[in-house]
Structure 1
């Protein structure tokens, strides 16, 4: 797929959206998890703080003692990441064994006796500590003294937990991303399916299988379908008008040509043979052009409406052979029909008769003793061969040029190879000349490359 592909653009856009969404979701979930872990640690510190406050007392000399420290063994493990500290206004400081030879550098703060404050301060080994502290009033000797009680935990636990969570989350989001990519691809395919149906509909219209695009499409595509169908109708009307004008012009020339033929006969009776022959040659040329335009007009109209058209080949060939057999040139020939199965051709019967009739008449004119018509039901091709002198390879391209007849001297069928090509071109078919294994010329009628029209198109006519 190139960048001009709508499918590729939608998929790439979806991938970018998924990547951005998953990145934001991953960062947000990691942040939420980190805050959750921090809140959990803060709640644990509050529990330790209550245990520590409950265990503070004064001895006989009025000095602070901690009779029952928090039970967590980490408070006794040096630099374990969990610490407590108790101090009074006289400078006495008690701390957990985990602090070793350091102390918590608490900020200047004066919380009320029942107020809980939290801080983030630097701790041992440059650690970041989350501190929960309270201020309580105790009787020390003969006085009431404020005592500052603090419990701290290393926030490295939060970072480590968040890091592990982020790795697990990345794996989960990666799997989710793959699922979303697959879902996006399916969604794009489903979304573009109406366009694919529209493409097939256009191909069916072009091939003549139907006259209009199907209207059973989503609402977003329906205006386009309606416009295309309107364009097809307008083009159809224009073609019909052109066809009618060509037919009217051709039929309008028939009467003058008939009158001209009558004048030629009168001139021959008077003995003016040279003048009669000259006028007769001009009349025949004009007649050939008229017949050609009539055939072209009919072929254009029929090809546009050929949906469901299919002609059985064998009966048509047999009928043409019976007609040709009455001509003097064909009475001496052996016509061979070599067909596998019962081939049918998606051309109108009259148009196919003109094509094959012209080719078979040319073959009969030059054949010595044999003409073969071959086709295969499984292959979209028809061949007409003879055992005559054939045509040199250099001349084959010339005789297929418009306005050049295969036999300039003979009377011919009045259509020539150019009209054969015009009729075939209207159906997406072509005429190819080659050398026959019989020794003469092989004329092959087949679909143009990449436009195979030899398909079943309805009941044979």
Structure 2
């Protein structure tokens, strides 16, 4: 639209200026040719006898015979005299030999402007002059009549009122600009409709991709022109392939974990197994359970369905309230914005479930849950009024490969799963002590979750 506006605003006025300039030049040339023809018509009836100019009383062109008609003519002759003898200077004066009846109301200057006074026999000049406050065209043609051995030089001047020409040009410009303005509006409207029609598939594609990205659709369903059909087909194939690969990955992990469960169950059934071996088998079982949960995790993907946080949170809080019904603990929930978790519902339950379960175990009386949308990021904050976590333990928990279940009850169980899930969604886990409640504070941040 910007390029279109620039093109219309620059090109059309430029064309208009070219048209106006060409039209004005054409009109001026037409007037020059018209006045030139009038000069020849006057010369045709002019005669010189005994060094005297003889002109008819009435000319064929009636405008020369009507006073103030706007078309005037006069014949002048340049004379040299010595009128100023005191200063001993020579003055060139213009002597009017004849004037048309239409010129009786105008006063001619004694001395013509220099370009007109400098004409010699055979010269022609078309210009503008000011007479009695009027702007006029003037065409001058210098000639010389020959009478015997003597020559009789003179200059024919044809004058035309410029006002009619100026009004005509002004009216033409107004009509041109008015027509140009209408044309610009029509072109802009047509181009706008054309752009909207031609770019509609791109707009549709943008909305569909955004819907898929926000989890409102699983693939592109609209029909696109052939220029975009190949692209949309490949996008749908990419979506389907990504979903299948993710499912195969989860199935492979699940199958591997389940295949290890059976031989481990056989080993655990042995009566003569030592305590050391039993501990290692338990650790293997714990690892398999952890990997099974990871297999169920969808992980980060640009094409996951969006899950509304509030329904999941309400269901989870109701469950925890039933489990810890004996504990007199107050849970404060603050939800801000349109809260959507772009991921799997089971993963969201796992994240919130582990952290809230730990908070219930660690809290003395109060738990505060805050979920907000900050720009494109979803921020989940869970605080309690328990004993908190030491700064040394916080740094160890966040280190890769360090197990979190070695810490005190209330913050160890499930932290490894939370940490891995957050990492799979390319989020951030921040652990600190709550300034408001005094206990632990867990903050989860998931970017581009809107």
TM-score over 0.5 for the pair: yes
Confirm whether residue 208 of structure 1 aligns to residue 215 of structure 2.
yes
Confirm whether residue 350 of structure 1 aligns to residue 331 of structure 2.
no
Residue ranges of structure 1 left out of the alignment (5+ in a row):
1-6, 87-92, 108-118, 135-139, 141-146, 454-461
For the structure 1 residues 121 and 369, does the alpha-carbon distance in structure 2 shift closer, same or farther, using more than 3 Å as the test?
closer
For the structure 1 residues 345 and 392, does the alpha-carbon distance in structure 2 shift closer, same or farther, using more than 3 Å as the test?
same
C-alpha distance in 2, partners of 1:124/1:26? Answer: 23
Question: What secondary structure does 2:404 align onto?
Answer: coil
Q: CA deviation at 1:355?
A: 1.3
Higher strand share: 2
C-alpha distance in 2, partners of 1:403/1:263? Answer: 27
C-alpha distance in 1, partners of 2:235/2:326? Answer: 54
Match of 1:443 in 2: 442
Confirm whether residue 35 of structure 1 aligns to residue 36 of structure 2.
no
C-alpha distance in 2, partners of 1:442/1:307? Answer: 26
Provide TM-score, normalisation by structure 1: 0.62
| 1:50-449 aligned within 5 A | 50=41, 53=44, 56=46, 65-68=54-57, 70-71=64-65, 83-84=74-75, 95-96=97-98, 105-107=120-122, 120-121=124-125, 130=139, 151-153=156-158, 191=195, 194=200, 195=202, 198-213=205-220, 215=222, 219=225, 223-224=227-228, 226-266=230-270, 269-270=271-272, 272-292=274-294, 294-296=295-297, 298-299=298-299, 304-306=303-305, 312-322=311-321, 325=323, 333-339=327-333, 345-347=339-341, 348-373=344-369, 382-392=380-390, 396=394, 399-408=397-406, 412-413=413-414, 416-422=417-423, 425=426, 431-436=429-434, 437-445=436-444, 447-448=446-447
Residue ranges of structure 2 left out of the alignment (5+ in a row):
59-63, 78-94, 100-107, 112-116, 130-136
C-alpha distance in 1, partners of 2:318/2:42? Answer: 114
Q: CA deviation at 1:349?
A: 3.6
1:384-432 deviations in whole A, cap 9, x for unaligned? Answer: 322222234575465345544433357834852223314654xxx6544
Question: What secondary structure does 2:291 align onto?
Answer: helix
Q: CA deviation at 1:227?
A: 0.5
Match of 1:459 in 2: none
Question: What secondary structure does 1:439 align onto?
Answer: coil
Provide TM-score, normalisation by structure 2: 0.63
1:42-77 deviations in whole A, cap 9, x for unaligned? Answer: 3355457546756x5788x897621316447799xx
C-alpha distance in 2, partners of 1:224/1:129? Answer: 68
Q: CA deviation at 1:237?
A: 1.6
C-alpha distance in 1, partners of 2:381/2:9? Answer: 59
For the structure 1 residues 34 and 175, does the alpha-carbon distance in structure 2 shift closer, same or farther, using more than 3 Å as the test?
same
1:13-38 deviations in whole A, cap 9, x for unaligned? Answer: x5367435533531442232122133
- Is contact 2:220-2:236 (8 Å) kept? no
- Is contact 2:126-2:140 (8 Å) kept? no
Q: CA deviation at 1:213?
A: 4.6
Q: Size of the alignment, in residue pairs? A: 390
- Is contact 1:405-1:417 (8 Å) kept? no
